[in-house]
Amino acid sequence: MAFKMRAMVLERANDPLRKRLDVAVREPGAREVLIRVLACGVCRTDLHIVDGELSEAKRDLVPGHEIVGTVMAVGKEVSRLVPGDRVGVPWLGWTCGTCEYCANGRENLCNRARFTGYHLDGGYAEFTLADERYCFKLPAYYSDSEAAPLLCAGLIGFRALAMAGSGKRLGLYGFGAAAHIAIQIARYRGQEIFAFTKPGDKEGQNFARTLGAAWAGGSDEMPPEHLDGAILFAPVGALVPAALAATVKGGTVVCAGIHMSDIPGFPYSLLWGERALRSVANLTRRDGDDFLAIAQKANVRTTVQRFALEDANMALDQLRKGLIEGAAVLVP
Ligand SMILES: [Zn+2]
Ligand SMILES: [Zn+2]
Protein backbone atom coordinates (compact mmCIF):
# COMPACT_ATOMS: atom_id res chain seq x y z
CA MET A 1 0.00 0.00 0.00
CA ALA A 2 3.04 2.25 -0.18
CA PHE A 3 2.33 5.36 -2.26
CA LYS A 4 3.65 8.85 -2.98
CA MET A 5 2.53 12.20 -1.60
CA ARG A 6 3.09 15.92 -1.84
CA ALA A 7 5.23 17.42 0.91
CA MET A 8 7.43 20.39 1.73
CA VAL A 9 10.90 19.09 2.59
CA LEU A 10 13.87 20.64 4.40
CA GLU A 11 16.86 19.36 2.43
CA ARG A 12 19.41 21.70 3.98
CA ALA A 13 19.22 24.23 6.81
CA ASN A 14 18.91 27.83 5.63
CA ASP A 15 17.55 26.76 2.24
CA PRO A 16 13.87 27.23 1.44
CA LEU A 17 11.76 24.10 1.81
CA ARG A 18 11.56 22.14 -1.43
CA LYS A 19 8.16 21.14 -2.81
CA ARG A 20 8.19 17.44 -3.64
CA LEU A 21 5.51 15.35 -5.28
CA ASP A 22 7.12 11.96 -4.80
CA VAL A 23 7.69 11.49 -1.08
CA ALA A 24 7.13 7.82 -0.24
CA VAL A 25 4.51 7.01 2.38
CA ARG A 26 5.19 3.69 4.07
CA GLU A 27 2.77 1.42 5.85
CA PRO A 28 2.13 2.21 9.52
CA GLY A 29 4.28 0.29 12.02
CA ALA A 30 2.67 -1.78 14.78
CA ARG A 31 1.67 1.17 17.00
CA GLU A 32 1.43 3.77 14.23
CA VAL A 33 -1.48 5.31 12.41
CA LEU A 34 -1.50 6.74 8.90
CA ILE A 35 -3.08 10.20 8.97
CA ARG A 36 -4.39 12.36 6.16
CA VAL A 37 -3.35 15.89 7.14
CA LEU A 38 -6.20 18.41 7.23
CA ALA A 39 -4.22 21.32 8.72
CA CYS A 40 -0.77 21.88 10.21
CA GLY A 41 0.26 24.87 12.28
CA VAL A 42 3.50 26.75 11.66
CA CYS A 43 5.43 27.10 14.92
CA ARG A 44 8.41 29.28 15.74
CA THR A 45 10.32 26.06 16.45
CA ASP A 46 9.92 25.19 12.74
CA LEU A 47 11.67 28.45 12.00
CA HIS A 48 14.53 27.58 14.36
CA ILE A 49 14.88 24.20 12.59
CA VAL A 50 14.75 25.68 9.08
CA ASP A 51 17.25 28.37 10.11
CA GLY A 52 19.64 25.74 11.50
CA GLU A 53 19.44 26.99 15.10
CA LEU A 54 18.38 23.49 16.17
CA SER A 55 20.74 20.98 14.69
CA GLU A 56 19.31 17.49 15.23
CA ALA A 57 16.81 17.51 12.38
CA LYS A 58 16.58 14.27 10.40
CA ARG A 59 17.69 14.30 6.79
CA ASP A 60 15.09 15.39 4.25
CA LEU A 61 12.77 16.45 7.02
CA VAL A 62 9.08 17.18 6.62
CA PRO A 63 8.60 19.83 9.36
CA GLY A 64 5.40 20.53 11.26
CA HIS A 65 4.24 19.45 14.71
CA GLU A 66 0.78 20.95 15.08
CA ILE A 67 -0.98 18.39 12.92
CA VAL A 68 -4.72 17.89 12.64
CA GLY A 69 -5.80 14.96 10.51
CA THR A 70 -7.99 11.94 9.96
CA VAL A 71 -6.82 8.42 10.69
CA MET A 72 -6.79 6.46 7.43
CA ALA A 73 -5.15 3.18 8.45
CA VAL A 74 -3.84 1.64 11.65
CA GLY A 75 -0.94 -0.68 12.53
CA LYS A 76 -1.45 -4.19 13.90
CA GLU A 77 -1.22 -3.28 17.59
CA VAL A 78 -3.15 -0.01 17.53
CA SER A 79 -5.91 -0.11 20.15
CA ARG A 80 -6.96 3.50 20.88
CA LEU A 81 -7.75 4.80 17.40
CA VAL A 82 -9.77 3.62 14.43
CA PRO A 83 -9.94 4.86 10.85
CA GLY A 84 -12.08 7.99 10.66
CA ASP A 85 -10.98 9.43 14.02
CA ARG A 86 -9.87 13.06 13.92
CA VAL A 87 -6.64 13.42 15.85
CA GLY A 88 -3.96 15.94 16.75
CA VAL A 89 -0.27 15.12 16.57
CA PRO A 90 1.96 17.25 18.83
CA TRP A 91 5.71 17.85 19.16
CA LEU A 92 6.22 14.91 21.54
CA GLY A 93 6.29 11.99 19.11
CA TRP A 94 7.83 9.18 21.15
CA THR A 95 9.47 8.58 24.52
CA CYS A 96 11.38 5.60 25.92
CA GLY A 97 8.97 4.95 28.78
CA THR A 98 11.71 3.55 31.01
CA CYS A 99 14.19 6.32 31.92
CA GLU A 100 14.01 8.18 35.23
CA TYR A 101 12.17 11.09 33.64
CA CYS A 102 9.60 8.89 31.94
CA ALA A 103 9.12 6.82 35.09
CA ASN A 104 8.15 9.81 37.23
CA GLY A 105 5.77 11.70 34.99
CA ARG A 106 8.31 13.94 33.28
CA GLU A 107 8.36 12.36 29.85
CA ASN A 108 8.83 15.86 28.39
CA LEU A 109 12.44 15.56 29.60
CA CYS A 110 13.11 12.02 28.29
CA ASN A 111 16.68 11.87 26.98
CA ARG A 112 15.62 9.63 24.12
CA ALA A 113 12.45 11.52 23.22
CA ARG A 114 11.73 11.90 19.52
CA PHE A 115 9.96 14.98 18.32
CA THR A 116 7.53 15.39 15.45
CA GLY A 117 8.72 17.51 12.56
CA TYR A 118 12.31 17.29 13.87
CA HIS A 119 13.44 13.69 14.47
CA LEU A 120 10.29 12.34 12.82
CA ASP A 121 8.59 13.59 9.67
CA GLY A 122 5.75 15.97 10.45
CA GLY A 123 2.73 17.60 8.91
CA TYR A 124 3.88 19.89 6.09
CA ALA A 125 2.50 17.17 3.82
CA GLU A 126 -0.61 15.39 2.61
CA PHE A 127 -0.06 12.45 4.96
CA THR A 128 1.91 11.61 8.07
CA LEU A 129 2.53 8.66 10.36
CA ALA A 130 2.33 8.93 14.13
CA ASP A 131 2.52 6.64 17.16
CA GLU A 132 -1.07 6.39 18.38
CA ARG A 133 0.01 6.68 22.01
CA TYR A 134 1.07 10.31 21.46
CA CYS A 135 -1.97 11.45 19.44
CA PHE A 136 -4.81 13.40 20.98
CA LYS A 137 -8.45 13.02 20.06
CA LEU A 138 -9.72 16.51 19.26
CA PRO A 139 -12.98 18.04 20.46
CA ALA A 140 -15.46 18.70 17.62
CA TYR A 141 -15.70 22.24 19.07
CA TYR A 142 -12.70 23.29 16.95
CA SER A 143 -12.43 23.34 13.16
CA ASP A 144 -9.31 21.74 11.68
CA SER A 145 -7.33 24.93 11.22
CA GLU A 146 -8.51 26.43 14.53
CA ALA A 147 -7.37 23.31 16.37
CA ALA A 148 -3.87 23.20 14.85
CA PRO A 149 -2.24 25.97 16.95
CA LEU A 150 -3.59 24.41 20.13
CA LEU A 151 -1.21 21.49 19.61
CA CYS A 152 1.99 23.37 20.36
CA ALA A 153 1.40 27.08 20.85
CA GLY A 154 -1.52 26.25 23.13
CA LEU A 155 0.13 23.37 24.95
CA ILE A 156 3.45 25.07 25.62
CA GLY A 157 1.67 28.21 26.74
CA PHE A 158 -0.42 26.13 29.11
CA ARG A 159 2.64 24.47 30.64
CA ALA A 160 4.36 27.85 30.93
CA LEU A 161 1.29 29.34 32.64
CA ALA A 162 1.42 26.67 35.31
CA MET A 163 5.08 27.46 35.96
CA ALA A 164 4.59 31.22 36.08
CA GLY A 165 2.23 30.76 39.04
CA SER A 166 -1.25 32.02 39.69
CA GLY A 167 -0.34 35.57 40.76
CA LYS A 168 -2.73 38.29 39.71
CA ARG A 169 -0.57 40.20 37.23
CA LEU A 170 1.07 38.20 34.46
CA GLY A 171 3.40 39.53 31.78
CA LEU A 172 3.61 37.95 28.31
CA TYR A 173 6.68 38.93 26.28
CA GLY A 174 6.11 38.30 22.57
CA PHE A 175 2.50 38.27 21.48
CA GLY A 176 2.29 35.58 18.79
CA ALA A 177 0.55 32.24 18.49
CA ALA A 178 1.32 31.00 22.01
CA ALA A 179 0.51 34.25 23.84
CA HIS A 180 -2.77 34.77 21.99
CA ILE A 181 -3.97 31.45 23.43
CA ALA A 182 -2.31 31.77 26.85
CA ILE A 183 -3.98 35.13 27.48
CA GLN A 184 -7.41 33.53 27.11
CA ILE A 185 -6.65 30.76 29.61
CA ALA A 186 -5.06 33.23 32.05
CA ARG A 187 -8.03 35.58 31.89
CA TYR A 188 -10.36 32.62 32.41
CA ARG A 189 -8.38 31.99 35.60
CA GLY A 190 -8.86 35.60 36.64
CA GLN A 191 -5.37 36.94 35.90
CA GLU A 192 -4.64 40.38 34.54
CA ILE A 193 -2.42 40.40 31.45
CA PHE A 194 0.38 42.76 30.49
CA ALA A 195 1.42 42.17 26.87
CA PHE A 196 4.84 43.15 25.52
CA THR A 197 5.50 43.29 21.78
CA LYS A 198 8.41 44.48 19.66
CA PRO A 199 8.78 48.21 20.33
CA GLY A 200 6.48 50.10 17.98
CA ASP A 201 4.34 47.10 17.01
CA LYS A 202 1.06 48.93 17.47
CA GLU A 203 -0.92 46.25 15.60
CA GLY A 204 0.37 43.55 17.92
CA GLN A 205 -0.49 45.71 20.94
CA ASN A 206 -4.00 46.31 19.62
CA PHE A 207 -4.41 42.59 18.99
CA ALA A 208 -3.45 41.93 22.63
CA ARG A 209 -5.98 44.52 23.81
CA THR A 210 -8.77 42.97 21.74
CA LEU A 211 -8.03 39.71 23.58
CA GLY A 212 -8.38 41.48 26.92
CA ALA A 213 -4.88 42.61 27.86
CA ALA A 214 -5.06 45.16 30.69
CA TRP A 215 -1.99 46.87 29.24
CA ALA A 216 0.03 46.45 26.05
CA GLY A 217 3.30 48.11 25.19
CA GLY A 218 6.81 47.64 23.83
CA SER A 219 9.24 45.19 25.39
CA ASP A 220 11.50 48.17 26.14
CA GLU A 221 8.84 49.63 28.45
CA MET A 222 8.18 48.98 32.12
CA PRO A 223 4.59 47.94 32.83
CA PRO A 224 2.50 50.38 34.93
CA GLU A 225 2.58 47.89 37.83
CA HIS A 226 5.06 45.18 38.77
CA LEU A 227 4.28 41.67 37.53
CA ASP A 228 3.70 38.63 39.74
CA GLY A 229 5.10 36.40 36.99
CA ALA A 230 6.16 36.61 33.37
CA ILE A 231 6.47 34.31 30.36
CA LEU A 232 8.92 34.95 27.55
CA PHE A 233 7.64 33.63 24.24
CA ALA A 234 9.97 35.86 22.22
CA PRO A 235 13.34 34.14 21.60
CA VAL A 236 15.25 37.19 22.79
CA GLY A 237 17.69 36.69 25.67
CA ALA A 238 17.90 40.43 26.37
CA LEU A 239 14.30 40.26 27.58
CA VAL A 240 15.27 38.07 30.54
CA PRO A 241 16.78 40.88 32.66
CA ALA A 242 13.97 43.18 31.49
CA ALA A 243 11.34 40.71 32.68
CA LEU A 244 13.13 40.14 36.00
CA ALA A 245 13.25 43.91 36.54
CA ALA A 246 9.50 44.10 35.94
CA THR A 247 8.70 41.23 38.34
CA VAL A 248 7.97 41.39 42.07
CA LYS A 249 10.00 39.58 44.74
CA GLY A 250 9.18 35.88 44.72
CA GLY A 251 7.93 36.05 41.14
CA THR A 252 8.89 33.61 38.39
CA VAL A 253 10.09 34.38 34.89
CA VAL A 254 9.54 31.48 32.48
CA CYS A 255 11.41 31.11 29.19
CA ALA A 256 9.00 29.18 26.98
CA GLY A 257 10.93 28.83 23.71
CA ILE A 258 13.20 25.99 22.63
CA HIS A 259 15.84 28.43 21.46
CA MET A 260 16.85 31.89 22.64
CA SER A 261 19.62 34.33 21.84
CA ASP A 262 22.24 34.63 24.59
CA ILE A 263 21.12 36.20 27.84
CA PRO A 264 23.28 39.25 28.63
CA GLY A 265 24.96 39.61 32.01
CA PHE A 266 22.84 41.34 34.62
CA PRO A 267 23.22 42.44 38.24
CA TYR A 268 22.36 39.84 40.86
CA SER A 269 19.94 42.32 42.42
CA LEU A 270 17.50 41.52 39.58
CA LEU A 271 17.30 37.90 40.72
CA TRP A 272 17.62 38.58 44.44
CA GLY A 273 14.42 38.54 46.48
CA GLU A 274 13.59 34.94 45.61
CA ARG A 275 12.79 35.68 42.02
CA ALA A 276 13.04 32.50 39.94
CA LEU A 277 14.13 32.07 36.36
CA ARG A 278 13.32 28.82 34.58
CA SER A 279 12.63 27.29 31.20
CA VAL A 280 9.77 25.10 30.07
CA ALA A 281 10.59 22.21 27.78
CA ASN A 282 8.28 20.23 25.50
CA LEU A 283 5.08 18.70 26.84
CA THR A 284 3.69 15.60 28.45
CA ARG A 285 0.60 13.77 27.23
CA ARG A 286 -1.06 14.72 30.48
CA ASP A 287 -0.55 18.42 29.60
CA GLY A 288 -2.35 17.77 26.33
CA ASP A 289 -5.37 16.14 27.95
CA ASP A 290 -5.60 18.83 30.64
CA PHE A 291 -5.15 21.66 28.17
CA LEU A 292 -7.68 20.47 25.59
CA ALA A 293 -10.26 20.11 28.35
CA ILE A 294 -9.69 23.59 29.74
CA ALA A 295 -9.43 25.23 26.30
CA GLN A 296 -12.97 24.24 25.52
CA LYS A 297 -14.23 25.18 28.98
CA ALA A 298 -12.56 28.60 28.72
CA ASN A 299 -14.02 29.03 25.24
CA VAL A 300 -10.54 29.61 23.79
CA ARG A 301 -10.70 30.70 20.15
CA THR A 302 -7.69 30.84 17.91
CA THR A 303 -6.96 33.45 15.25
CA VAL A 304 -5.42 31.74 12.24
CA GLN A 305 -4.03 32.80 8.92
CA ARG A 306 -4.33 29.99 6.37
CA PHE A 307 -1.73 29.23 3.71
CA ALA A 308 -1.67 26.55 1.02
CA LEU A 309 0.86 23.79 1.75
CA GLU A 310 2.94 24.98 -1.21
CA ASP A 311 3.21 28.40 0.43
CA ALA A 312 4.98 27.08 3.54
CA ASN A 313 8.06 29.19 2.80
CA MET A 314 5.91 32.32 2.63
CA ALA A 315 4.25 31.44 5.94
CA LEU A 316 7.65 30.89 7.60
CA ASP A 317 8.95 34.15 6.20
CA GLN A 318 5.96 36.12 7.47
CA LEU A 319 6.38 34.51 10.88
CA ARG A 320 10.06 35.47 10.86
CA LYS A 321 9.11 39.07 10.08
CA GLY A 322 6.43 39.16 12.78
CA LEU A 323 3.62 39.67 10.27
CA ILE A 324 1.33 36.87 11.43
CA GLU A 325 -1.57 37.83 13.69
CA GLY A 326 -2.28 34.77 15.83
CA ALA A 327 -1.03 31.60 14.15
CA ALA A 328 -0.16 30.54 10.60
CA VAL A 329 -1.69 27.25 9.46
CA LEU A 330 -0.94 25.23 6.33
CA VAL A 331 -3.80 23.51 4.56
CA PRO A 332 -2.82 20.80 2.05
ZN1 LIG B 1 12.46 8.30 28.73
ZN1 LIG C 1 5.97 24.23 18.43
Segments of the chain assigned E as strands: 3-9, 18-25, 32-42, 67-74, 86-89, 92-94, 114-115, 127-131, 136-137, 169-173, 192-197, 215-218, 227-232, 247-255, 276-279, 304-308, 327-331
Query: How many angstroms is it from 281 CA to the middle of ligand 1?
Result: 14
Closest ligand to Cα 90: 2
DSSP designation for 58:
P
Query: How many angstroms is it from 116 CA to the middle of ligand 1?
Result: 16
What's the confidence (pLDDT) of residue 12? 95
Closest ligand to Cα 106: 1
User: Can you say how many angstroms the Cα of residue 108 is from the centroid of all Cα atoms in its chain?
Assistant: 14
Give me the mean pLDDT over the 55-83 stretch: 97
For β-strands 67-74 and 86-89, DSSP reports them as antiparallel
Query: How many angstroms is it from 268 CA to the middle of ligand 2?
Result: 32
Query: How many angstroms is it from 242 CA to the middle of ligand 1?
Result: 35
Give me the mean pLDDT over the 182-206 stretch: 97
Closest ligand to Cα 103: 1
Closest among 79, 63, 86 to 131, alpha carbons compared:
79
The rounded distance, in Å, linking the Cα atoms of 161 and 272 is 22
Query: How many angstroms is it from 224 CA to the middle of ligand 2?
Result: 31
Band (89; pLDDT cuts 50, 70, 90)? very high
Query: How many angstroms is it from 178 CA to the middle of ligand 2?
Result: 9
Query: How many angstroms is it from 96 CA to the middle of ligand 1?
Result: 4
Closest ligand to Cα 259: 2
pLDDT above 90 coverage of the chain, percent: 99
**Could you report the per-residue pLDDT of 199-219, keeping only the tens digit for each?**
999 999 999 999 999 999 999
The rounded distance, in Å, linking the Cα atoms of 264 and 302 is 34
- pLDDT at residue 2 greater than cutoff 90: no
Find the helix packing angle between 153-164 and 285-297, rounded to 10°: 90
What's the confidence (pLDDT) of residue 1? 64
Give me the mean pLDDT over the 84-103 stretch: 98
The rounded distance, in Å, linking the Cα atoms of 143 and 331 is 12
Query: How many angstroms is it from 133 CA to the middle of ligand 1?
Result: 14
Report pTM: 0.96
Query: How many angstroms is it from 108 CA to the middle of ligand 2?
Result: 13
